[in-house]
Amino acid sequence: MRSLWQDQEAKPFLSSPLGLRAYTSRLLGREPSLVLHGGGNTSVKTSAANVFGEEEAVLCVKGSGWDLATIEPAGFAPVRLDILQRMADLPSLTDGEMVRAQRAAMTDPSAPTPSVEAILHAIIPFDYVDHTHADAVVAVTNTSRGEERTREIYGERILVVPYVMPGFVLAKTVREMTRELDWSRIDGMILLNHGVFSFGSDAKSSYERMIDLVSLAEGYLTAHGAMETLEVPEEHRHDQRSLVSLAGLRRSVGLARGRPVIARLDEGPDARHLAARTDVAEVATRGPLTPDHVIRTKPLAMVAESDDAGGWEGAIEAYGRAYRAYFQRHATPDQVMLDTAPRWVVWQGRGSVGFGDSASNASIVEDIARHTARAIRWSERLGGWKALPEDDLFEVEYWELEQAKLRKAGDPPSLAGKVALVTGAASGIGRAAVEALRGAGAAVVATDIDPKVTELFAGPDVLGLVADARDREAVTASLGIGVRRFGGLDILVSNAGVFPPSRLLEEMPDEIWNESIALNLSSHLHLLRAAVPFLRLGFDPSVVIVASKNVPAPGAGAGAYSVAKAGLTQLARVAALELGADGVRVNVLHPHAVFDTGAWSPSVLADRAKHYGITEEDYRTNNLLGVELTSVDVGRAILAFAGTTFSKTTGAQIPLDGGSDRVV
């Protein structure tokens, strides 16, 4: 661990204590092994003028919902310092009362809710306080001799605090432990099984004390051989059976959870090493790295080995029975059990899989699992991984403050947890479909022959891949990569196509005809054939075929295009007949004259308008409704077909042309 402080970088923040606080908080947040996905909190004690012009001492503490990696001054909640310090001396305080009292003491009611550790930050007599869940520190404390080893590392430099529930109880415990303490003699606190605190009179010293404390733990692990070079088995080569098995796992977990889920497969060194351990079923089920993680991962991972053709149901049911028993051992009569589905599965011999209701949440679980696997390895080499007892984990998982967050989250987007693949996604209809599906909560694999598809979209919920739709191997490979990234497939938008140059049939060159058939028809068959095994394991699976108005109303000179699209429509009808028993819906959209797509260059538009003897402007609205069609309109129609609106419709053909007198 090394300090990331740079004088030049820090210079713009030197005039503001809160600015410096944000700067060093982001330095902590840059290092995932310190503050994994929102973990940890920081604060600064400063002053602010109230409405009467009087200066008040305030604690600006990280607000709920903010991540240290990206926090700004607005992410800190200003709370009257004296009120927080007096709260620490109360004999008791419920979590709800604590939150209400902290909010009532805020000098800015529009600021985010203060961290549950605000009282603890307030009673530490230093201007700057930093708190992290450093992997190395927690790995040391999560051993059978955790406290002894901690004192061996730090001696008298730190205060060792036994694990207690975060929030008021923790603040009260530290208050009682430090009434006679000379704070100037210590550099920080180690909270067993939880994390580490550092503090200082200025931002740099507090931050660099944190780096120093964590570095000492890393050095101890290294000296005891815990951080030696990792030897891992060879990475598994994925074939169709293993990918289908992954999709089956995703389906089984989603059914247990009662909703679609994203599944992130991790086959990195840490995950593979854990999955290859002969004792993995025992060590991976002792508990999470920190109690905070139980909200994301549940108290235990599920360890299972698939037969590459499914076979997950028994393990999922066993996990559910164990979770129900765990709940019954600790629940009070007024508590309602959460779903029994695992969030983290160790796939023996392969790696691990993280599950979430969105790509972002699944990625977070995957990341937490990776750090946990690494910490387990370190702790095992120090004598044995030992997490908190399950009653402590249950207390955090069913903590009223965490449950309130879940209730506050509201209903998920309509396609949350679903996975879509869109071809021809770099422009026009395909790009609009990607954005429409993402907007509804789906994770999307976006493919196109144009390399720009890899740079068009940003975010954990989209994966841009270069693939020529005519290349069977490329199509199969892109589908496999998408399944590995998101776990399966629920929605297929078969959109790739080309509008070839106009030629009368008697003048049609073979290459124009063959190219149109290859891309506008055959490529869709190849994609559908590769996708069907995954669609069968999807949630309300839907295929949307993008055809053309030229199917019901072909045009002279457009034979290569019209025939290919007519064949594509017939392909979709046959697919609807064959896949209906599997619950896979197959429907067709017939767009026409969508002018913001690559098919409509200025020259093509001018040529078609001239052919009909009207102006280009009139040609744009040459339909019964007198409207102009855009790719966004088609994207919305694709979304409707993929969602619940047409959940009981298959084999349908819907025109999207503003009304054509040639069709009507």
Largest Cα span, the chain: 100
566, 554 in Cβ contact below 8 A?
yes
List of long-range contacts for 29-33, beta carbons under 8 Å, 24+ apart: 29/67, 29/68, 29/69, 29/70, 29/71, 30/4, 30/69, 31/1, 31/4, 32/367, 32/371, 33/1, 33/134, 33/135, 33/136, 33/371
371, 33 in Cβ contact below 8 A?
yes
Query: Rounded to an integer, what distance in angstroms lies between the CA atom of residue 663 and that of residue 595?
Result: 19
537, 250 in Cβ contact below 8 A?
yes
- Across 302-427, where does the E strand assignment appear? 302-304, 344-347, 351-356, 419-422
- The CA distances from residue 578 to 341, 574, 575, 583, 652, in Å, are 32, 6, 5, 10, 14
| H-only helix segments in 224-276 | 240-257, 269-276
Selection from 2, 229, 32 nearest residue 135 by Cα: 32
Query: Rounded to an integer, what distance in angstroms lies between the CA atom of residue 584 and that of residue 537?
Result: 10
SS3 404: helix
Sheet hosting strand 188-191, strand order edge to edge: 76-80, 55-62, 41-49, 128-132, 195-200, 188-191, 158-161
- The CA distances from residue 336 to 379, 398, 400, in Å, are 34, 9, 11
Catalytic one of 398, 561, 612, 619: 561
CB-based burial of residue 556 (10 Å sphere; 0-12 exposed, 13-18 middle, 19+ buried)?
A: exposed
Encode 205-238 in three state secondary structure: HHHHHHHHHHHHHHHHHHHCCCCCCCCCCCCCCC
Task: Go through 392-413 and write b for each residue having 16 or more CB atoms within 10 A of its CB, e for each that does not.
Answer: bbbbbbbbebeeeeeeeeeeee
- The two structure tokens encoding residue 462: 């989209």
Active-site residue flag, 128? no
482, 501 in Cβ contact below 8 A?
no
Query: Rounded to an integer, what distance in angstroms lies between the CA atom of residue 232 and that of residue 270?
Result: 8
495, 469 in Cβ contact below 8 A?
no
According to DSSP, the β-strands at 158-161 and 128-132 are: unpaired
What count of other Cβ atoms lies within 10 Å of the Cβ of residue 235?
A: 12
101, 167 in Cβ contact below 8 A?
no
Sheet hosting strand 262-266, strand order edge to edge: 262-266, 351-356, 344-347, 302-304
Catalytic residue annotation? 561
